[in-house]
Each structure stands twice: as structure tokens, then as C-alpha cells.
């Protein structure tokens, strides 16, 4: 199998089908980072409600959220689910930013990509997908985000095996695709849309834009 060709073909087919998706929603890098933490185990609609509430109460800054009592933050993000757990995770990230970079996202993203990634993974509640989402979407760093949709689609198209780790999938993509944040941004958004609308647990291959590719494999 020509992995590079397959990865590019998937991208080109989906890009023609969906067009530019301009993901991730957010007016500032900080808002995007908050959204990346809140979207764990919930839908984006629920996160949008939480972020709107944070904005309405004028708490959307690292300093204000860090200084706020936990119960206040929990109430603000209640719509995102697991609000007490996510309050602790959000506060852990904010403390990390404050301790390491004086609360500045600009200073944080001046850090070497892989050093920063390793540091983020040490923060309570931040796993690989969340860390990479922050790095790519908030920081504009060239790192490929892997999620459940990525794994499902690539596995069904024979690009990866079921037991592959997150890092192995990521390394494969970054080996065969140019290390370009704009490309990684759009590719991930395309895979998310494909997973949501077509490549479900029970796949809709006949309707999927990638259906013809799968028949040829």
C-alpha cells in the first residue's frame, strides 16, 4: 500500500466534498485552549454554551478563571458535563501556565513544540488529544491531532491497525504529510465531519465521499 498516496487521496476527496471548515471555533488562543479542555467527553454544542456563559460573566481570562472559586467555575462550565472534574483540569492548566509562563500563552507557545507537548502531558487531565489540540489550534504548531474518528476512518481504509497507539498513528501521518499546521487543521476537521456524518459505528459507506476509495482497496 502507498500510504502517502492514500493519505493524500483521503484528504483531497474530503476537501472537495466539505470545503474549507475553518476549525477550531474560537476568537482567541486562550478561548480555544479552554474549549479543548471542556470538549472532553461531550459535544461541541455543550462547550459553546459554557464558553458563552464564561464570556457573559466576563471570566474569559487566565487570571480571572484561576482566581475564581472552584464552585463559580463549575457553575459556569456546567453544560459541558463532569463540571467538577473539568474545573480541576482547567485550573491545573491555568496553574501550569501561570507557573511556567507567567500566565502568557504567547510565552508558552514560544517553547519548543515537543518540549511544550511533554510539559502539557504532565498537567492533570490533559491527554495527548487535548494537548495536541491546544498546540495545533491555539498555538498554530505543526502537530497532527488523532481522535476516535481518525482512528476509525484510517483503520477501515487499511492505513493503520486496530492496536496502534495514538503516537504511532500521529508519527505515521507526520511522516507522510507535510508538517503544515493549516493542512493538519483542515485534515482533522475533515475527518471529524466524515466520522460524524458517514463513518459512524455503523458505517454509511454508500453515502460517504470515501466510499469509492474503499471499494478499490
Helices and strands of the chain, counted as H and E runs:
13, 0
Question: Please, what is the average pLDDT of the chain?
Answer: 95
Q: What pLDDT is recorded for position 157?
A: 93
Looking at the structure, tell me whether residues 95 and 126 fall in a common domain: yes
CA proximity to 130, closest of 87, 93, 160: 93
Looking at the structure, tell me whether residues 130 and 148 fall in a common domain: no
Q: Select from 138, 172, 189 the last residue of a domain.
A: 138
Q: What pLDDT is recorded for position 215?
A: 52
For residue 42, the domain's CATH number is 1.10.340.30
**C-alpha distances in Å from residue 116, one per residue of 51, 136, 168, 181:** 25, 12, 19, 16
pLDDT tops 90 at residue 214: no
Looking at the structure, tell me whether residues 152 and 113 fall in a common domain: no
Looking at the structure, tell me whether residues 167 and 96 fall in a common domain: no
Q: What pLDDT is recorded for position 142?
A: 98
Looking at the structure, tell me whether residues 117 and 208 fall in a common domain: no
Q: What pLDDT is recorded for position 217?
A: 53
- Residue 96 belongs to domain spanning: 29-138
Q: Binning pLDDT at 50, 70 and 90, where does residue 213 land?
A: confident
Q: Binning pLDDT at 50, 70 and 90, where does residue 180 land?
A: very high
pTM: predicted TM-score of the whole model, two decimal places? 0.95
Q: Binning pLDDT at 50, 70 and 90, where does residue 175 land?
A: very high
**Number of structural domains in the chain:** 2
Per-residue pLDDT tens over the stretch 113-139: 999 999 999 999 999 999 999 999 999
Looking at the structure, tell me whether residues 105 and 8 fall in a common domain: no
CA proximity to 196, closest of 39, 44, 90, 31: 44
Looking at the structure, tell me whether residues 128 and 179 fall in a common domain: no
Q: Binning pLDDT at 50, 70 and 90, where does residue 32 land?
A: very high
Q: What pLDDT is recorded for position 87?
A: 98
Average pLDDT, stretch 59-85? 97
Amino acid at each position: 500500500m502507498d500510504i502517502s498516496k492514500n493519505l493524500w487521496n483521503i484528504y483531497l476527496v474530503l476537501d472537495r466534498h466539505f470545503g474549507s471548515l475553518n476549525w477550531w471555533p474560537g476568537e482567541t488562543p486562550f478561548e480555544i485552549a479552554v474549549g479543548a479542555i471542556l470538549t472532553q467527553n461531550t459535544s461541541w454544542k455543550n462547550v459553546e454554551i459554557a464558553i458563552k456563559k464564561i464570556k457573559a460573566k466576563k471570566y474569559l481570562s487566565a487570571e480571572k478563571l484561576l482566581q475564581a472559586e472552584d464552585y463559580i467555575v463549575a457553575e459556569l462550565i456546567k453544560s459541558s458535563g463532569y463540571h467538577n472534574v473539568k474545573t480541576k483540569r482547567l485550573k491545573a492548566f491555568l496553574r501550569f501556565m501561570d507557573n511556567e509562563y507567567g500566565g502568557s500563552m504567547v510565552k508558552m507557545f514560544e517553547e519548543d513544540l515537543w518540549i511544550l507537548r511533554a510539559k502539557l502531558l504532565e498537567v492533570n487531565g490533559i491527554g495527548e488529544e487535548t494537548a495536541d489540540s491546544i498546540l495545533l489550534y491555539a498555538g498554530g504548531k505543526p502537530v497532527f491531532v488523532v481522535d476516535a474518528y481518525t482512528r476509525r476512518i484510517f483503520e477501515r481504509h487499511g492505513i493503520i491497525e486496530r492496536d496502534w497507539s495514538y503516537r504511532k498513528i500521529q508519527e505515521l501521518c507526520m511522516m507522510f504529510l507535510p508538517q503544515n499546521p493549516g493542512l493538519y487543521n483542515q485534515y482533522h476537521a475533515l475527518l471529524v465531519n466524515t466520522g460524524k456524518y458517514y463513518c459512524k459505528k455503523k458505517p454509511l459507506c454508500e453515502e460517504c465521499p470515501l466510499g469509492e476509495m474503499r471499494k478499490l482497496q
